[in-house]
């Protein structure tokens, strides 16, 4: 009895660690480095200049809140398209919170949650904001 439960425990332990290791290693092997994706020193300079010109989070501005932006976000995901990557009309300043929450949700579901001070959805693609 002891041997059986011990081996079951050992099997779960080994499987768990193999999954953790795979989860750790796969993103490293499948994803290009940030510099290969365009985020090099040229980007760091462009990003800093953009944040100096546009220092406030655009999503918080829609809520009439003044929050310092720390991320230059690509409005339309560039997905490796360098023309779109460097097109500053496709950039927006966001705080880290907005980038990590609103933006990630937008990329996953195509929707942004929340309303502005007038009670209207902040998502420009919400059907209330689309002209008929
Ligand atoms: Zn924000």
What is the domain partition of the chain in residue ranges?
54-109
Cα 30 to middle of ligand 1, angstroms: 30
- Asked if residues 93 and 56 have their Cβ atoms less than 8 Å apart, the reply is yes
Ligand 1 is an ion; its neighbours by CB within 5 Å are 57, 59-60, 67, 95, 98
Cα 92 to middle of ligand 1, angstroms: 11
Sign of CA dihedral 9, 12, 16, 17: positive
pLDDT of 46? 97
Cα 66 to middle of ligand 1, angstroms: 9
**Residues 68-91: tens digit of each pLDDT:** 999 999 988 888 999 999 999 999
Cα 109 to middle of ligand 1, angstroms: 19
- Which comes out higher in pLDDT, residue 108 or 52? 52
* Distance from chain centroid for Cα 125: 19
pLDDT of 25? 47
Query: Residue 67: pLDDT above 70?
Result: yes
pLDDT averaged over every residue in the chain? 79
């Amino acid at each position: 009895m002891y041997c059986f439960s011990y081996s079951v425990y050992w099997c779960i332990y080994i499987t768990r660690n193999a999954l953790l290791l795979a989860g750790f290693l796969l993103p490293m092997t499948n994803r290009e480095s940030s510099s290969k994706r365009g985020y090099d020193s040229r980007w760091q300079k462009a990003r800093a200049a953009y944040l100096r010109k546009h220092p406030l989070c655009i999503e918080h501005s829609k809520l009439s809140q003044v929050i310092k932006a720390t991320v230059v976000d690509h409005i339309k995901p560039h997905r490796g398209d360098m023309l779109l990557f460097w097109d500053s009309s496709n950039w927006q300043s966001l705080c880290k919170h907005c980038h990590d929450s609103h933006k990630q949700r937008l990329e996953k579901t195509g929707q942004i949650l929340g309303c502005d001070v007038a009670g209207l959805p902040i998502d420009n693609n919400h059907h209330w904001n689309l002209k008929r």
